[in-house]
């Protein structure tokens, strides 16, 4: 009888982020706050960026109380010169989470040039040039990295009164695919997370409308809107080495919205 051979089981790649620096924009509340907490809990040093100093200050204090590492960066990401100055004073960013975004719900016929500039300026232009600044340094220092752009289910479908928002999120999806191809030789990955409607301070006013909420729920097969906590594990996966073969994709955390 042949001796029994010892089976060596494969090891699950680590979700830990020790020694990594992560930059999260729009970090002061809602999804950005949840993302910052997730990355810090996995061992990353979190650069929490937002325009409101008090919000990110409170976030950083809370992270440090739990034993995490973080610092606040008061920053308007639409100011490209300020972005470059801020990054020059920081450690290289290994994980970039482009989370800051906005929306203005209007019919196409009522969208003004100011609306267009405000929404596209934050949702796409700011993402483009912040990513550029981070990538330039990663390439110069021959470091790999993970870029995670927070898109939306509206980057895959359309809905009335959202021509402006949908156009920016579809653009973000295309930008991310192109990034993935261009940056793969440098060991830099790029992906998006595309959530459904998430309960946050930004969405609270529209989701408080019973008629609108009912319309939304009819489109989500799982029967509920999301919470920031629903996105945290997805972010950790894309930020960590567990997703080392994943780039150029969109992780839809949408309760089946885009499948229906």
Q: Is the pLDDT of residue 1 over 70?
A: no
Q: Which helix (H) or strand (E) covers residue 48, if one does?
A: strand 45-50
Q: 29 or 260: which carries more pLDDT confidence?
A: 29
Token readout for 219 is: 């489109």
What's the average model confidence in pLDDT over 133-155? 97
Residues near 234 by beta carbon (within 8 Å), at least 6 away in sequence: 193, 251, 253
Q: Helices 163-183 & 113-120, crossing angle to 10 degrees?
A: 30
* pLDDT one-digit tens code per residue, 81-103: 999 999 998 889 999 999 999 99
Q: Is the pLDDT of residue 2 over 90?
A: no
Q: What's residue 171's pLDDT?
A: 98
Residues near 39 by beta carbon (within 8 Å), at least 6 away in sequence: 17, 22, 24, 46, 95, 97, 235, 236, 239
| % of the chain with per-residue pLDDT over 70 | 99
* pLDDT one-digit tens code per residue, 120-137: 999 999 999 999 999 999
Least confident of 3-12, 174-183, 230-239: 3-12
Residues near 202 by beta carbon (within 8 Å), at least 6 away in sequence: 30, 102, 103
| Neighbouring C-beta atoms of residue 187, cutoff 10 Å | 14
Active site residues: 165, 169
Could you give the CA distance from residue 32 to residue 135 in angstroms, rounded to a whole number? Answer: 21
The burial of 138, by beta-carbon neighbours within 10 Å (0-12 exposed, 13-18 middle, 19 or more buried), is given as buried
Could you give the CA distance from residue 227 to residue 219 in angstroms, rounded to a whole number? Answer: 17
Per DSSP, the residues of 69-96 read EEEEEE--TT-HHHHHHHHHTS---SEE
Q: What's residue 38's pLDDT?
A: 98
| % of the chain with per-residue pLDDT over 90 | 94
* pLDDT one-digit tens code per residue, 21-37: 999 999 999 999 999 99
Could you give the CA distance from residue 259 to residue 50 in angstroms, rounded to a whole number? Answer: 33
Could you give all domains of the chain from N- to C-terminal order, each with its CATH number? 21-253 (3.40.50.720)
Least confident of 47-51, 88-92, 143-147, 194-198: 88-92
What's the average model confidence in pLDDT over 228-238? 98
Q: What's residue 4's pLDDT?
A: 79
Least confident of 33-42, 116-125, 197-206: 197-206
Q: Is the pLDDT of residue 149 over 90?
A: yes
Kindly give the residue spans of alpha helices, DSSP state H, lying in 100-209.
113-120, 126-140, 163-183, 204-207
Separate counts of helices (H) and strands (E) for the chain = 9, 7
**DSSP annotation of 157:** S
> Residue 190's closest CA among 80, 78, 98?
98
Q: Is the pLDDT of residue 202 over 80?
A: yes
- Average pLDDT value for the chain: 96
């Amino acid at each position: 009888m042949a001796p029994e051979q010892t089976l060596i089981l494969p090891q699950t790649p680590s979700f830990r982020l020790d020694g990594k620096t992560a930059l999260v924009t729009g970090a002061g509340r809602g999804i950005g706050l949840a993302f910052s907490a997730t990355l810090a809990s996995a061992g990353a040093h979190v650069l929490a960026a937002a325009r409101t100093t008090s919000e990110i200050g409170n976030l950083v204090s809370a992270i440090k109380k739990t034993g995490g590492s973080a610092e606040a960066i008061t920053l308007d990401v639409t100011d490209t010169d300020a972005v470059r100055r801020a990054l020059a004073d920081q450690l290289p960013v290994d994980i970039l989470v482009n989370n800051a975004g906005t929306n203005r719900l209007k019919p196409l016929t009522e969208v003004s040039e100011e609306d267009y500039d405000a929404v596209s300026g934050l949702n796409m232009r700011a993402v483009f040039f912040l990513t550029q600044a981070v990538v330039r340094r990663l390439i110069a220092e021959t470091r790999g990295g993970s870029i995670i752009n927070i898109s939306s289910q509206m980057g895959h479908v359309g809905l009335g009164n959202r021509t402006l928002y949908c156009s920016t999120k579809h653009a973000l999806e295309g930008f991310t695919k192109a990034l993935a191809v261009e940056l793969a030789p440098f060991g830099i990955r790029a992906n998006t997370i595309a959530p459904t409607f998430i309960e946050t301070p930004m969405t609270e006013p529209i989701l408080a409308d019973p008629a609108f909420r009912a319309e939304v729920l009819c489109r989500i097969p799982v029967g509920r809107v999301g919470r920031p906590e629903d996105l945290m594990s997805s972010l950790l996966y894309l930020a960590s080495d567990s997703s080392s073969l994943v780039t150029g994709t969109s992780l839809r955390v949408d309760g089946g919205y885009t499948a229906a």
